[in-house]
Amino acid sequence: MRLTDHEKAMLDGSHGAAKARAMDLLLRYGEALGAQRLVETNNVAGAFNASTPSVRALAARGFDAVYSELNLDSDVVVEVPRMAVNTCQLITGIDNAKWRIQGIPDDLAEQQKRGEAFFGRRGINMHATCTPYQVGNVPVLGEHCAWMESSAVVYCNSVLGARTNTEGKESTGAAALTGRIPYWGFHISANRRGTHLVEVDIPVDDIMDWGLLGYWLGEIVQDEIPVLTGALLDPTLIKLKHFGAAASSSGGVEMYHLPGTTPEARSVEEAFGGRAAAGTLRYGPPQRRQAYDNLNCARGRKVDFVMLGCPHNSIEQVWLIASMLEGRRINADTALWVHTPRALRDTAERNGYVQMIEDAGGVVMSDTCPAISRHMPKGVRTVATDSAKQAHYLPAITGVQAWFGSVRDCVDAAVSGTWRGTLDG
């Protein structure tokens, strides 16, 4: 790889040991990719928190040791300086206020808080959400970013038109200290054009529809770039958040185009950049049914736990759930957890939405989700969720069975304790 003089100086240790280790990792990573050079970034979203039991031993040696091993892949412990560029923390494993409800041991909650105090003072903004674009980190068209979190990456590329590959813990750790990331993949205009045309033959309207479409699509196209046409109704932040999360779980979609909606595709022609589609796919009732059946692995109708808010809910989604719950009471044997970024939870509390959900017996959480934390209410065997992503991952990670459906299906299941959702309501 070709390095600039400043990059060479960072690599040879002129700017301290941490930046040297960061450059070493970026060099190994860039060469693995076959990248020619690095690109400057001033927007890093990574995972720096120390909230899992497996980090306990490292954290006992201090947070320099945690960052050196897990965020730089460094065998030697280096002192972590201030971040060189704008950097934020994505989702964590622990709700800083409600860890006891999660079932997290107190010492782990304290470990996360100590870590946040350490990293916060070094400039890592503790958004603590999988959706940084909901709480103020909204990069502009063409901005080079280094983001983790597959659902945020696909949103960043597709909806915002900013540029990021799916980075990892180590590459974001290195980018935060150097302001550099390999110039490869989605940073390059030619790699952002559509590859496959997807003709959607049925109306796609609510969150559930968008989740099903994304779940089906990701499994088929893997990491290709689909261009979708058809009756894609009302593609708002909420729906695109669920769609991208689903497509980057069943597959590895990092970018898509909705001609007329997303910024790099005013038309189908522009989406493909003048090239022909490598293939055309059709989405109709059988494909929708297949996605639904693949997601619904549960057998028993009794629902122990309802999880809403993956990716983290917007304030409108919290309001919708609060409205649906007003005057109702959640079943005594069923738990309901609603997840939203902490900054939005403050708004929800101010508006009275949190009280409305708590009055019905639910909990409003922030900072985490069950798939990340691996914590749910004790004894849960069957979970219901409106998130294709959570329905995909929770059974693999925790061994539970999952029902997937609409927000209303899930709220009704929380109240009755029984799953009655169907594909067509």
Partner 1 sequence: MDDVAQRTLVLRGRRVVGGCAEGEALVTRETISGWGGINERDGTIIERRHELRGVSFKGRVLVFPGAKGSSGWSAYFHMARLNGVAPAAMIFTRMTTKVALGAVVTRAPTMTELDQDPLAVTETGDWVKVDADRGVVEVTKR
Residue ranges that bind partner 1, judged by CB under 8 A: 25, 28-29, 32-34, 47, 54, 69-70, 73, 147-150, 153, 165-171, 182, 184-185, 218, 222-223, 248-249, 251-252, 294, 297, 371, 392-393, 395-397
Q: Which is nearer to partner 1, 32 or 276 (CB)?
A: 32
Shortest approach of partner 1 to residue 33 CB, angstroms?
A: 5
> From CA 161, how far away is CA 385, in angstroms rounded?
29
Q: Which is nearer to partner 1, 293 or 346 (CB)?
A: 293
Shortest approach of partner 1 to residue 325 CB, angstroms?
A: 29
Residue 32 vs residues 27, 182, 189, 262: alpha-carbon distances, Å: 8, 10, 21, 31
Q: Which is nearer to partner 1, 64 or 223 (CB)?
A: 223
Shortest approach of partner 1 to residue 177 CB, angstroms?
A: 16
Residues 54 and 20 sit within 8 Å (Cβ to Cβ): no
Count the Cβ atoms, other than its own, within 10 Å of residue 322.
Answer: 23
User: Helix 315-325 to helix 342-351 angle, to the nearest 10 degrees?
Assistant: 40
Shortest approach of partner 1 to residue 79 CB, angstroms?
A: 21
Q: Which is nearer to partner 1, 10 or 70 (CB)?
A: 70
Q: Which is nearer to partner 1, 362 or 370 (CB)?
A: 370
Q: Which is nearer to partner 1, 279 or 352 (CB)?
A: 279
Shortest approach of partner 1 to residue 196 CB, angstroms?
A: 15
Question: Sheet containing 279-283: which strands, arranged edge to edge?
Answer: 226-232, 196-204, 279-283
Q: Which is nearer to partner 1, 30 or 405 (CB)?
A: 30
Shortest approach of partner 1 to residue 349 CB, angstroms?
A: 30
Shortest approach of partner 1 to residue 53 CB, angstroms?
A: 11
